[in-house]
Amino acid sequence: MKITVLCENTSYHGLPCEHGLSLFIELKDKKILFDSGQSDLFSKNAGSLGIDLAGVDFAVLSHGHYDHGGGLLTFFEQNDTAPVYMSKYAFEPHHNAGGKYIGLDPEILDSGRVILTDGVTPLTDNVTLYSGEDIPRIVDFGSAGLCTRRGQCLVSDDFRHEHYMLVEENGKTVLFSGCSHRGIVNIVSRFEPDILIGGFHFSKIEPGEELAGYSEMLDGYPTVYYTCHCTGVEQYAFMKRYMDNLHYLSTGNTIEL
């Protein structure tokens, strides 16, 4: 398995970056786009890295926020056939703590390329999407002020639009989690993957006792972590003091598992 970071908040080797996430995943027999950042930057960086998005077999959107799905219309221009899988709740209206809309462009749904999922959805013999409804709440991380509109009201987001992609290859289980809004500790407890790739949503937590506690909880699992995006660079540096199995992925990085 080979994973290339097409865009992320930070940069490796000088490629442009943005607040968002997009990963290009090469399996033995499939090529997957996992998230598409907030703009067309993922596509430009793919070109710079010699990656042909026309060869992607399917795309997965981790959740319904613009910084993960903003590039999907560009992807449809680059690739004529690949479907994109996302939660059936992905197009609910999502807002940040200030009330700003942070959801998806409705044109994405009008493309005819979207497959809405719920529960457990096998995509191939070794790639499965999980809605996360059975994730235990060991730690209540709250919603960090993120909201969704239900009827006329804004309510705290329960992140039912977030799902997780589990890949089994070469005797390893690799879990992809875009932002881990349901709580990274809870997610790791549910899946206990060999490797986890994704953001931890810790960027608003000041380095200190609370973050140290989460780090020690995560370090209690044999999982190897490749984090990025919403974890926060300062938070990552702090957590690294407690976790030998923690690594950071930036725009342009490639790892082989």
Mean local confidence (pLDDT), 46-62: 98
3-state secondary structure the chain: CEEEEEECCCECCCCCCCCCCEEEEECCCCEEEECCCCCCHHHHHHHHCCCCHHHCCEEECCCCCHHHHCCHHHHHHHCCCCCEEEECCCCCCEECCCCCECCCCCHHHHCCCEEEECCEEECCCCEEEECCCCCCCCCCCCCCCCEEEECCEEEECCCCCCCEEEEEECCEEEEEECCCCCCHHHHHHHHCCCEEEECCCCCCCCCCHHHHHHHHHHHCCCCEEEECHHHCHHHHHHHHCCCCCEEECCECCEEEC
> Of 35-39, 93-97, 181-185, where does mean pLDDT reach its minimum?
93-97
Q: What is the model's pLDDT at position 153?
A: 82
Domain boundaries, the chain: 2-256
Taking 90 as the threshold, does the pLDDT of residue 252 lie above it? yes
Taking 90 as the threshold, does the pLDDT of residue 81 lie above it? yes
pTM reported for the whole predicted model: 0.97
2-256, superfamily in CATH? Ribonuclease Z/Hydroxyacylglutathione hydrolase-like (3.60.15.10)
pLDDT, tens digit (0-9, with 9 covering 90-100), for 112-164: 999 999 999 999 999 999 999 999 999 999 999 999 988 878 899 999 999 99
Q: What is the model's pLDDT at position 25?
A: 98
Mean local confidence (pLDDT), 7-32: 96
